[in-house]
Structures are given as C-alpha cells and as structure tokens.
Amino acid sequence: MLSGRYAVFTSYKMMENIKITTGSYFDGEKYHNDGPYHIVINDGVISSIERKNYQINVAFLMPGLVEAHCHLFLDGGELELSKRSAYLKASQEEMLSVGHKNIQQSIGAGITLIRDAGDKYGVNHMLRNDAQGVVIRSPGLALRSPKRYGSFMAREVESEDDIRAALSKNAVMSDDIKIILTGIIDFEAGAVKGHPQFDLEALKLIVQLSHEKGLKTYAHCSGEEGLTLALAAGVDSIEHGFFMSRNILEQMAEKQVAWVPTFSPVHFQWQQPEMLGWDDTTVGNLRRILDEHLLRVAMAADIGVPLVAGSDAGSYGVNHGKALIDELFHFAEAGVNIAEILRSATSRPRHMWGMKSADIKVGVCADFVAFGGSPFDDMASLRKAVASYRNGSFMLPFEGEL
C-alpha cells in the first residue's frame, strides 16, 4: 500500500525503497494481466514482483520506451522551410537548447533510451553527456559519399583511406556507425533518387571495420538496389527501407537484420500535403508508398524480421516523443500484434544493441513507464504516459490520481 504515494511519486530524486502496485504490466516479452502486482524497487533495482491484493495505483507498466531513430538537434515541429534551413547555421548553444527541449518531449512520451541518427555539428555527442536522465546512443557524424544526400548529418568519405580514417575517428566517440547508403525518396517521381552512395566493396569495408571495433552499423537505405547491397555487406539495421520486397525481408529474417521503417515523415507529408505544396499525383505516390510499407511491415512481422520502432523525429513535421507513439500506431495499422509492437520499442532494441535489459523482472534495474490503461485493451493509453523511472529517479513524475 502506498500510503505516502503522493510524496513518493513526486520526489524527483530518490534512492530509498519504493513499492509500486500496478494492475498489469508488459515485462518486455510478455503481458501480465492478472494483477494487481506489487513491485518493490531497492536502490533502483527491482527486488521482487508479487501478485498481491494491493490498491492499484497505476493501471499498466512496461519497460521505458526506446526511440531507435531520431535527430535530436532538429525540431520536427518547425514547419517553415526558410527557418529550417536558416537553423542549420544556428549557434551550438541554440542547437543544444533545441536538443534539450526534444529530450524533454521524449521523456514526456515515456522514452528512456534514444538512438540518435546523426548530425554534423556533434550536438548529439554533447547531449549524450547531458542527457537529463535518459540514455542516448550517438553516432556523431554519419558517413556519406562526396556531394551526395546527407550533408546535415554526415561526413564525406570516398577512398579506402578516407573510410579507415573516418572510422578510426568515429570509433573513439560513437556508439554506432550510421551510413547514408541511398538518397532521399523523390515523392514527385515516387522513387529513390540515384544509385547507392557506396559500392559493395566500400560498404563491406565500413561494416567490417565497424564490427572489428565492436560497433554496429545502421544504414539509411531505401529501394531494392540499396537494400540488396546493404544485406550483402552485412549491415546490422535497415533504416527507412521504403520499396521493400519479400525477397529482401526473407534475407533479413534469416540474418536477423533489424528494420526501422520510420513511417512518420512520409505520413506527415501525405496527411498535410499543402505544407509542401504537393499536387494530387504526389499525394497519390505518398499514399501508395505508405500502403506498400504497411504490407511489408505486416509481412516482416509474419516471417520474423526484427522490427524496431523509430520515428525519424526531427524530420519535417515529426515531433520528438509523440512521433514514436505514432510509429507504434502505424505498426498496429499494418496488423502487427500489440505484444510484438511493444517489443519493438522496449526489449528488442536494447537486446540487439547489447544494452542492459529493462525488462520488468526480478534483478533488473528499474527502467519503466506507467500508463493510465493497458494498451492490450486500448492502444490509446500509450498516448499518455503518467510516470517514468530510470536510474533511481522518476523522470516523468506521477501527478495525481488515476
């Protein structure tokens, strides 16, 4: 019984023992819906989970959410194109303050782990050191070919020497190696722009050197040509992956290559085409791309491709925090079941990235988010995280009664 509940949940920092009673929870793998459960945390570690007849204080718990693909230095809510391009010349101080706001928005959604996907200003590395309670994985700069897409987030590499030098630099500071393998999608043409940025030999070298340094690779990659190359080179995670095919998905399932489908940026442009002045043909292309993506994600879940949720927040119209939850709804629209959806944003990315588990199991460091209802009953509950906790502190403090 949490008699001092109000005081407990509103303390920002606390390392003493706490007891939480929840009606149900998802432990990272499985749904436990036969509560109430009484979870005791000692010095930040879950020391026991018992089914007891306690008063229910929260309705649902699960491991803290993971955002697998975002650009922390970019404000996705800035919709004026002139301001977006002017911002790329902003001071570091301004970018850091935008980054901090984005972290706060992420915390508000129940996120406790963020994998940034690149910026050329190194703001992601700086935010990692001042992460306000969440954990940030930062690639620093991504890698791209000279004069190709990705100038805001990547350094140019061309020769073998360039690649070796860039990876030696990145290896010191980066948690993962981000590769810009293909161009952006030309929505007016409904296709990926240009050929892949690297050939098989160069890409293999990047992957091999990264792995030698103990780093995983994730590639911005859409279209059959780039996807085929990424799989042949042994890339660990496909980011975006538009124009996916069954053949590619089968290889991904076999090799257990992750897929982060990032519906959100395309969905925004389809939903509000007037913002960028898209005509009917382009809107039709956007819809067709989204519909195909939904079918491929369903197929991926079906054949065992490890889906991972990431929103590409920071992109045009894609807000940090909220967009990750939107992404979970896109998975649901594709027909992915709720346990699999929650895995894609909790246990799976932590496991695939070799990070500490946050599963709600005895002996695990408490890292969780609480909601006012169970998403197994109604996914809308995911829209309002009521508390989150990590490293012995409430990050999103519980406010008031449920």
Residues near Zn ion (CB under 5 A): 117, 312
Instruction: Return the DSSP state at 362.
Output: T
Give residue number: closest CB to Zn ion.
Answer: 117
Provide the minimum distance between the beta carbon of 265 and Zn ion in the complex, in angstroms, as a whole number. 8
SS in 3 state form for 164-187? Answer: HHHHHHHHHHCCEEEEECCCCEEC
At residue 198, the 3 state secondary structure works out as: coil
Query: Residue 46: enclosing H or E segment and its boundaries?
Result: strand 45-51
Instruction: Return the DSSP state at 236.
Output: S
Nearer to Zn ion, 69 or 296 (CB): 69
Provide the minimum distance between the beta carbon of 117 and Zn ion in the complex, in angstroms, as a whole number. 4
Pairing, β 31-32 against β 18-26: antiparallel
- The CA radius of gyration of the chain, in Å to the nearest whole number, is 21
Provide the minimum distance between the beta carbon of 298 and Zn ion in the complex, in angstroms, as a whole number. 23
Nearer to Zn ion, 29 or 78 (CB): 78
What are the DSSP E strand ranges found in 146-262?
154-156, 176-180, 185-186, 191-192, 216-221, 237-240, 258-260
Provide the minimum distance between the beta carbon of 11 and Zn ion in the complex, in angstroms, as a whole number. 36
Nearer to Zn ion, 117 or 358 (CB): 117
Provide the minimum distance between the beta carbon of 24 and Zn ion in the complex, in angstroms, as a whole number. 34
Nearer to Zn ion, 312 or 326 (CB): 312
Nearer to Zn ion, 152 or 278 (CB): 152
Instruction: Return the DSSP state at 370.
Output: E
Residue reference for tokens 């408490």: 366
Nearer to Zn ion, 27 or 239 (CB): 239
Nearer to Zn ion, 176 or 312 (CB): 312
Q: Which of 113, 18, 38 is nearest to 347 (CA)?
A: 113
Provide the minimum distance between the beta carbon of 220 and Zn ion in the complex, in angstroms, as a whole number. 6
Provide the minimum distance between the beta carbon of 70 and Zn ion in the complex, in angstroms, as a whole number. 7
Rounded to whole angstroms, how far apart are CA atoms 2 and 54?
A: 9
**Residue 224, token pair as written in the block:** 């059959």
- Decide if 241 contacts 45 (C-beta within 8 A): no
Nearer to Zn ion, 133 or 310 (CB): 310
- Mention every residue, 6+ apart, whose C-beta is less than 8 A from residue 346: 26, 28, 62, 63, 64, 65, 66, 358, 359
Provide the minimum distance between the beta carbon of 50 and Zn ion in the complex, in angstroms, as a whole number. 43
Instruction: Return the DSSP state at 372.
Output: S
Provide the minimum distance between the beta carbon of 135 and Zn ion in the complex, in angstroms, as a whole number. 19
From residue 325, alpha-carbon distances to 81, 254, 259 in Å are 25, 28, 17
Pairing, β 367-371 against β 385-390: antiparallel
Provide the minimum distance between the beta carbon of 368 and Zn ion in the complex, in angstroms, as a whole number. 27
At residue 203, the 3 state secondary structure works out as: helix
Query: Residue 280: enclosing H or E segment and its boundaries?
Result: helix 280-303
Termini Cα distance of the chain: 15
